Amino acid sequence: MNQSHSMNSSERQAVRKANEERTVKFPDGTQVPAIGQGTWRMGERPGEKEKEVKALQLGLELGMTLLDTAEMYGEGGAEEVTGEAIRGIRDQVFLVSKVYPHHAGRKSLRKACENSLQRLGTDYLDLYLLHWRGNIPLQETVDGMEELRKEGKIARWGVSNFDTDEMKELWACDGGSRCATNQVLYHLGSRGIEYDLLPWMRKEGIPLMAYCPIAQGGLLRQELTTHPTVQSIADAHDVSPIQLILAWSIRNGDVIAIPKAVQQNHVLDNAKAASIRLSEKQLAQLDQAFPPPDRKVGLDIV
Ligand SMILES: NC(=O)c1ccc[n+]([C@@H]2O[C@H](COP(=O)([O-])OP(=O)(O)OC[C@H]3O[C@@H](n4cnc5c(N)ncnc54)[C@H](OP(=O)(O)O)[C@@H]3O)[C@@H](O)[C@H]2O)c1
């Protein structure tokens, strides 16, 4: 297993290059790194802020230049951490934030977006997501998002935690198919979306954003990382099981994974996962260990 958590500058450059080359395309042609950085649980403890900012900056330096945050995380605290991490380099970052469902009405959406922009210290988002489906009619949210887009406050918009039927409902809205992505839970131990959501999104030509791509902590992660198939393939690549799981999530070129890491060694490991390519045989072995669904499974959420 790879135990090296420090890197010299030429190694850093190589990792950055691997992240720059491993990209995913949005429908408008914009390319983003397949591995970005999450920020949930950041901005909750003032004493941790400096460490969190440094972690994001290290990830940016290594080419993980897509940052995913939300007004919900730390009630704005994570956006402040993110804003500090990108100060002076805003144009080098693809910035994603999310609106609470109860703020997704026409007027409240504008206010929520402006508040996010202020906390982030920027005047535009690259992508603004409806965090999950709430009670506000989808058409109203689409209209609000389109207004923000036309004004340049957001470059594009999308949704999160939408299952296939909800995506179809969205597509039936006027302007609904301008949605650029759907961010859902996806990792080797949770493959339900492969049955119909992921194929549907592929058909419509929009990339998926995978949250919890390394299965957070807990029992499920332990089950994944201690599985003999995962361990032997990780060993064959001289990487950790977590790095392998992360590389698996971006294997097809149309999924953006957003692992969250505060520990510097975790950031380095995640960035290095961009250069791991799994063979057909290894993918088949992983399919056997953690089979894809053969029927409709409800969306997993956290
Ligand atoms: N749209 C939604 O509803 C939704 C829901 C959940 C998450 N998200 C987004 O997706 C992001 C990722 O999901 P997540 O944060 O829930 O879970 P995750 O990225 O799957 O896991 C994060 C956990 O894994 C640890 N970790 C990171 N890299 C590691 C590595 N290389 N080796 C071992 N452990 C490692 C982190 O530790 P340290 O931090 O201590 O380094 C942290 O405890 C979130 O931060 C958020 O931006 C969105």
10 strand-pairing partners: none
Q: Which atom of ligand 1 is nearest to the CA of 216?
A: 21
Closest CA to 103 of 145, 156, 63, 65: 145
Q: Please state the φ and ψ torsions of residue 167, each to the nearest 5 degrees.
A: -65, -40
- Pocket-testing residue among 181, 230, 266, 269, ligand 1, by greatest number of atoms within 8 A of Cβ: 266
Ligand 1 pocket (Cβ < 6 Å) reads: 38-40, 68, 131, 160-161, 183, 211-217, 242, 258-263, 266, 269-270, 302
The token pair at 73 is: 């995380």
Residue 73 Cα, ligand 1 centroid: separation in angstroms? 12
Domains and CATH numbers, the chain: 4-289 (3.20.20.100)
User: Does the annotation mark 195 as catalytic?
Assistant: no
Atom 48, ligand 1: residue with shortest CA distance: 211
Residue 38 Cα, ligand 1 centroid: separation in angstroms? 6
Closest CA to 84 of 48, 51, 121, 59: 121
pLDDT value of residue 136: 98
How big is the CA angle at 18 (ends 15 and 23), to the nearest 5 degrees?
A: 135
Per the listing, tokens 């994974």 go with 257
Secondary structure (DSSP) of 207-259:
-EEEESTT--SHHHHHHHHT-HHHHHHHHHHTS-HHHHHHHHHTTTSSEEE--
Cα–Cα distance measured from residue 133 to residue 207, given in angstroms and rounded to the nearest whole number: 19
Cα–Cα distance measured from residue 280 to residue 67, given in angstroms and rounded to the nearest whole number: 30
Atom 20, ligand 1: residue with shortest CA distance: 212
Per the listing, tokens 């953006």 go with 256
pLDDT along the chain (302 residues), means of 10: 64 97 97 98 98 98 98 98 98 98 96 98 98 98 98 98 98 98 97 97 98 89 96 98 98 98 98 98 98 95 92
pLDDT value of residue 1: 35
Cα–Cα distance measured from residue 38 to residue 54, given in angstroms and rounded to the nearest whole number: 14
Q: Is the dihedral of CA 108, 114, 117, 119 positive or negative?
A: negative
pLDDT value of residue 268: 97
